[in-house]
Amino acid sequence: MEEMFCFQCQQTAHNSGCEGRAGVCGKKSDTANYQDELTGALIGLSRAVRKKLALNPDASFEHADELILKGLFTTITNVNFFNDTIIELIREVNVEKDRIYPDIMNYDVHHIWEDQEDIRSLKSLILFGLRGMAAYAYHAYALDYVDRNVLDFFYEGLEALGSEKSSDELLALVLKTGEINFRCMELLDHANSGTYGNPVPTEVPLTIEKGPFIVVSGHDLHDMELLLKQTEGKGINIYTHSEMLPAHYYPELKKYPHLYGNYGNAWHRQNSEFAAFNGPILMTTNCITPVQESYRNRIFTTGMAGYPGIPHIADRKDGSPKDFSAIIALARTCPPPTPLEDGTIVGGFAHDQVLALADKVVAAVKSGAIKRFVVMAGCDGRQKTREYFTDVASGLPEGTVILTAGCAKYRYNKLPLGDIGDIPRVLDAGQCNDSYSLAVIALKLREAFDLDDVNRLPLSFDIAWYEQKAVAVLLALLALGFRNIRLGPTLPAFLSPGVAKILAETFGLKPTAEAKADTEAMMQGK
């Protein structure tokens, strides 16, 4: 088996890169290399599209657009482990490339991994940012929301990866990736709220009711809606897991009474929690981990998720809704879940809800009741060092409000942190896909306080990262002008010392340190 190289996620081996026969995520070397080949084919497709556009600026590329989104999304950590899916995508991309502009060469992505370290680092930032952005764009696309400017940038960015560029040119493209990703995140926000309504504060049960049951994990709200429709009136309760928790916050999903509660915590606990659930599991997108025997006969994938030997619920060729009958039938035969916890969990504080409280928030800041906002968004992971984020949340003074999104919140969203007046101290905006809300809240607070610089707000960033969507969000924040962001539990392995120095000196990007020291520094505005 050919060896691999991958350093795109936070858990990468020795914080330098996964090599050999398999990655820490469980991805085998052949899968990693097929993903590299797919990326090279996408660069080839981008070359073809850009050449065609130079000849015909009015040309359209609907199928190429879809392939770009699917191809990049497939290569994100913990999305697809199934070689057959990746090989088929490579074939489709090559066919479309040749149709658009014959005799265009694909690109060998190993040239990036073997390049001078600063060039490698900057190209990696762009590539991983594009992968993360593709996930957001794909979810919007599934709801029929597209932005031509966003789609066009995928071709621009991918073509640049296969070209000779200076460090300055690549750094400018890194920031443009962040700028375009903010537009993409805005698009997804409009797609979700335009389809399902603006999220509202919601108390979600953590208890177990009578079955049968299905638990849904991943991120895709459209798949959740389809399943809810097909289980309506059939006596089957639907539970969310990990990043699907925010499905409970949307009015058009809340209206289904059998969307009952949340089971479990962040993605990395699925081995034990899926085993305990006892019923069928639907994995809609990332983050799927290597499937264990304890639940192998009960898990299904759909969308871009895929795993060898696991049933996949595919889109239907005639355009009709996916058929979830197999998972529904299985639900009727399974024993009830093992209870994990009691009580409730509260969320649904996206930008629309927080801005509705703007007058109260501003008054609380002016009175001194709120001393600081701390953005603690992003991804969770299995490392023990991530207890840092629990320690920070526990150690923040009572006058602080935590703004969060993503599964990092499971490190602190069940702590008894209380309220400031009637403002909860943890304001959960939703999925990592909803990080747009956190940026909007900060920008609107700047306006409310009539400040010329968002960095003059009583606001700190303490971000947990794991995979490429978090990279895309980081680049968006930098492009928007946010400075002095803490990132942990480690800085990305793909940041060379030279690029890390540029980001530190230019943007104040810094690694997380010891929880108490970081907490004290943030309260001092450092």
Helices (DSSP H) in 6-61: which residue ranges?
29-55
Average pLDDT of every residue of the chain? 97
Helices (DSSP H) in 203-350: which residue ranges?
221-231, 251-254, 270-277, 325-331
Domain 4-195: CATH architecture, name and number where available: Up-down Bundle (1.20)
pLDDT tens column, 70-93:
999 999 999 999 999 999 999 999
Q: Cis (ω within 30 of 0) for the bond into 489?
A: yes
Reported CATH class of domain 349-523: alpha beta
| Predicted local distance difference test score (pLDDT) of residue 117 | 97
Q: Which is nearest to 244 in space by CA: 214, 272, 278?
A: 214
> 499 burial class (0-12, 13-18, 19+ CB within 10 angstroms)?
buried
The letter for the amino acid at 461 is: F
Whether the CB-CB separation of 370 and 400 falls below 8 Å is answered with yes
Residue with the two structure tokens 């097929």: 34
Four-way CATH pick for 202-331: 3.40.50.300, 3.40.50.2030, 3.40.390.10, 3.30.2130.10: 3.40.50.2030
| Predicted local distance difference test score (pLDDT) of residue 1 | 58
Taken as a whole, the chain contains a residue count of 526
Residue with the two structure tokens 């530190």: 504
Residue 13, SS3 per DSSP: helix
Sequence ranges of the domains in the chain: 4-195, 202-331, 349-523
Q: Cis (ω within 30 of 0) for the bond into 287?
A: yes
What long-range pairs does 10-16 form, CB within 8 A, spacing at least 24? 10/379, 10/381, 10/465, 10/466, 10/467, 10/489, 10/490, 10/492, 11/381, 11/382, 11/383, 11/466, 12/493, 15/490, 15/493, 16/493
pTM: predicted TM-score of the whole model, two decimal places: 0.97
The string of DSSP letters for 161-205 reads: HTS---HHHHHHHHHHHHHHHHHHHHHHHHHHHHHH-----EEEE
Which residues does 163 contact at the CB level (< 8 Å), separation at least 6?
A: none
Biggest alpha carbon–alpha carbon distance for the chain: 67
| Predicted local distance difference test score (pLDDT) of residue 422 | 87
Whether the CB-CB separation of 402 and 393 falls below 8 Å is answered with yes
pLDDT tens column, 400-443:
999 999 999 999 999 999 999 989 999 999 999 999 999 999 99
Whether the CB-CB separation of 35 and 51 falls below 8 Å is answered with no
| Sheet strands (E) in 18-148 | 18-20
Percent of residues, the chain, with pLDDT higher than 90:
97
Cα gap 242→266, rounded to integer Å: 5
Whether the CB-CB separation of 182 and 479 falls below 8 Å is answered with yes
* Cα atoms in the Cβ-side hemisphere of radius 13 Å centred on 396: 30
| Predicted local distance difference test score (pLDDT) of residue 317 | 87
Low-confidence ranges of the chain (pLDDT < 50): none
CA distances from 504 to 124, 442, 487, 495 (A): 18, 22, 11, 11
| Intrachain domains 202-331 and 349-523 with the same fold | yes
> 505 burial class (0-12, 13-18, 19+ CB within 10 angstroms)?
exposed
| Predicted local distance difference test score (pLDDT) of residue 210 | 83
Cα gap 238→225, rounded to integer Å: 11
Distance of CA 374 to the CA centre of its chain: 20
